[in-house]
Amino acid sequence: MSTEKELHARSESRCELCGATDSLTVYEIPPASDGSADQCVLTCSTCRGQIENPDIVDANHWRCLNDSMWSQVPAVQIMAWRMLNRLRAEGWPQDLLDMMYLDEETLHRAEAEQRATANAIQHIDSNGAVLQAGDTVTLIKDLDVKGSSLTAKRGTAVRNIRLVQDNPEQIEGRVDGQLIVILTKFVKK
């Protein structure tokens, strides 16, 4: 049986991410797919277009991940995890990520794309040190947090930072329990 036929049977001819029934195609999960059904998902043209072109992502379209993230198919779990991570700045995807469970092997596969991207993009602090996910950094100036009355004070330690994958000048971290985006030029390792 061909991969496409297996995917149509597995998904009942629906997009495995949003449930659409039109313009379905096989999407091989990067970075290392062998083309088997275990490493592919059946996607509609809308999902595929937004996966392949992050500049046209419509965050509201991806609210469908609230359902598909519970799929028992590891390939679907991987794509749901990756899209939720890409949209994390929207706020609501972080809640879903906090609820989502991936076994160790599936999580490793899901993070593979981030590892490949992280090797290409380096986040550099104000002193020229390379930042890694999970590092602790210190703010070097008072920062007003947009959309909040919070002022992150100089000298505040931000633990367990996350790297913004598509922007080497930004990191994410929690200050006073609030997840904020911080410019790397305002932190030191």
Residues 30-57 have pLDDT tens digits of: 877 788 888 899 999 999 999 988 778 8
Cα–Cα distance, 89 to 86 (Å, whole number): 8
pLDDT of 119 over the 60 cut: no
Average pLDDT score over the chain = 88
Beta strands in 50-112 (DSSP E): none
Beta strands in the chain (DSSP E): 25-28, 40-43, 123-124, 130-131, 137-139, 143-144, 151-152, 157-158, 162-163, 170-175, 178-183, 187-188
Structure token pair of residue 61: 């379209």
Q: Who's near 179: CB < 8 A, 6+ residues apart?
A: 94, 172, 173
pLDDT of 118 over the 60 cut: no
> Is domain 123-188 in CATH 2.60.40.10, yes or no?
no
pLDDT of 116 over the 70 cut: no
Q: Which of 93, 71, 72, 90 is nearest to 82 (CA)?
A: 93
Residues 181, 173: contact at Cβ < 8 Å?
Answer: no
Q: How confident is the model at residue 10 (pLDDT cuts 50, 70, 90)?
A: very high
Cα–Cα distance, 187 to 139 (Å, whole number): 5
Instruction: Tell if the pTM clears 0.95, that is, is over it.
Output: no
Cα–Cα distance, 173 to 181 (Å, whole number): 7
> Using CB atoms within 10 A of its CB, is residue 102 exposed (0-12), middle (13-18) or buried (19+)?
middle
Residues 49, 18: contact at Cβ < 8 Å?
Answer: no
**Residue bearing tokens 């972080």:** 94
Residues 43, 22: contact at Cβ < 8 Å?
Answer: no
Pick the more confident residue, 173 or 114: 173
CATH 2.30.30.40 residue window(s) in the chain:
123-188
Instruction: Supply the pLDDT for residue 120.
Output: 63
